[in-house]
Amino acid sequence: MKKLLLNSLAILAFWINANSQCNVNGGNITTAALTVTCDNAPPIPVSLSQNIGTNSVFVVIKQNAEKIELLTTSSNIDFSEIEAGGVYRIQHLSYENGINGLTVGANISNISGCFDFSNSIFITKFASNPGVIELQSGGTQTTICSNKTVSVVRNSGAAERLFWFYTDNQGNIIDFLGASQHFSNETSFDFSNIPSGEYHIYSGGSSRPEFFPGFDLVIGDNVNDEEFCLQFSNPIIVTIESDCGGNPDDETDEECVEVLDNITCRGKKVAMCKNNVSICVSSKRVNRELNSGAVLGACARCVENVNLRSASVIITETDEVDSQSDILELDEFSLFPNPSIDEITITSKSKFNGKIYVYSISGKQMLNQIIKANSNLKLKFSDYNIVSGFYFIKIDTKRNSVTKRFIVK
């Protein structure tokens, strides 16, 4: 009996000694960061206190699957390599030597040894992948004539909000496709009435379901300005040639040349091209017409036997649809710098009398001013409440009417 009692005491002493060696506490973790993240978001900083143990590691676990996604000793938890579209939890783990099953990809139920987990911080990672884009015909570069469309394809896009837009060659946003096209993986950009030059097409992806292009990201913003949880695809480079490969020294084109309808729209109406017809639209109707397929600016037309370097079509306004009349000399106006920050200079090779108008992309008239015997005019944006964005400047003279686009940074 005495021997049995001694054996029992020895076993109890061993058990007490073994458990006293596993004196660990996972501690308490907190964060002041948002509990949402995305691929290009900064790491989530975590503060740790009250932990006890020889070894220490932070663990990211996929909720429900209980799978270990990340092990790190850094208190700045980087989610960049973790799959988007799920809920995860961060925990701190204190443990002693000899722990088993603590590997990425393992289930936490397989961990054994002397260890203890802290409380949890739950993180939702949203997708913001804009995909990879290319021309429908393949490749990422093309050269076109004016008044042409470019068909594009998006592959592997995965975001809460996807959208399409294009920029100038400096990355300044010029315009977005309509909302109905945002999630379409195949779409087309209409480059009617766009001046010759280089343009870049992009797909955008935001992790925020409430994100809306044109409000959260606006015309004039630059794609090189980093914003968390907003990513842009590779660009498709589009070069628009005004002469479509012809010789600029040729005086005539044997077939035809594309020229713009120059519309004189009264009051606050804005020139637009719809179904290949130039129309004047009230500012209230601009967004509705854009959504129905119209584009800002007059239509371009193929006109036979005209001077290749100086041709323009004047349209006289009726109620909503305008008709073609005389062919006059093309404008000699220029704008610089464009894009600009605080002012823009309008120049002409000769003095002129007329009127100058400035419209916002939404069709709002920002300026209506008479010009007398002038060939050089400076327009200071702050004088007319012109802020960052994309604008049209229209100049009417007795012999012509021209419309140009400019960007305010």
DSSP codes, 225-292 = S-BTTEEE-PPEEEEEESSTT--TT-SB-SSEEEEEEEE---TT-EEEEETTEEEEE-GGGHHHHHHT
Residue 235 pLDDT level (bands cut at 50, 70, 90): very high
Question: Among 45-49, 79-83, 320-324, 333-337, which is the least confidently predicted range?
Answer: 320-324
3-state secondary structure string, 35-77? CEECCCCCCEECEEECCECCEEEEEEEECCCCEEEEEECCCEE
Helix (H) or strand (E) holding 405: strand 401-408
Specify the pLDDT at position 208.
75
Question: Across residues 46-60, what is the average pLDDT?
Answer: 95
What is the overall mean pLDDT for the chain? 75
Is residue 76 over pLDDT 80? yes
pLDDT in tens, 248-266: 444 333 344 444 555 566 6
Confidence (pTM) = 0.49
Q: Could you give the percent of the chain with pLDDT greater than 90?
A: 28
CA-to-CA distance for 393 and 403, rounded, in angstroms? 6
Contact yes or no for 207/84 (Cβ under 8 A): yes
**Residue bearing tokens 């009349």:** 325
Specify the pLDDT at position 375.
60
Question: Among 42-46, 130-134, 259-263, which is the least confidently predicted range?
Answer: 259-263
User: Which range has highest mean pLDDT (172-181, 214-223, 279-288, 358-367)?
Assistant: 172-181
Three-state DSSP state, 166: strand
- Selected residue with higher pLDDT from 56 and 272: 56
Specify the pLDDT at position 90.
96
- Selected residue with higher pLDDT from 208 and 153: 153
Contact yes or no for 211/230 (Cβ under 8 A): yes
CB atoms closer than 10 angstroms to residue 394: 23
Specify the pLDDT at position 49.
94
CA-to-CA distance for 324 and 300, rounded, in angstroms? 11
Is residue 273 over pLDDT 80? no
User: In a 10 Å sphere around its CB, with 0-12 CB exposed, 13-18 middle and 19+ buried, how is residue 327 labelled?
Assistant: middle
CA-to-CA distance for 196 and 365, rounded, in angstroms? 25
CA-to-CA distance for 152 and 189, rounded, in angstroms? 8
- The partner residues of 263 in beta bridges, in order of sequence, read 315
Bridge-based pairing of strands 300-304 and 256-263 is: antiparallel
CA-to-CA distance for 33 and 17, rounded, in angstroms? 42
* Phi (first) and psi of residue 10, to 5 degrees: -65, -40
Residue 303 pLDDT level (bands cut at 50, 70, 90): very low
Task: Region of 255 please: left (phi>0), alpha (psi -120 to 50) or beta.
Answer: alpha
- Selected residue with higher pLDDT from 12 and 83: 83
Is residue 365 over pLDDT 70? yes
* Phi (first) and psi of residue 158, to 5 degrees: -145, 100
Handedness of CA 94, 97, 102, 104 (dihedral sign): positive
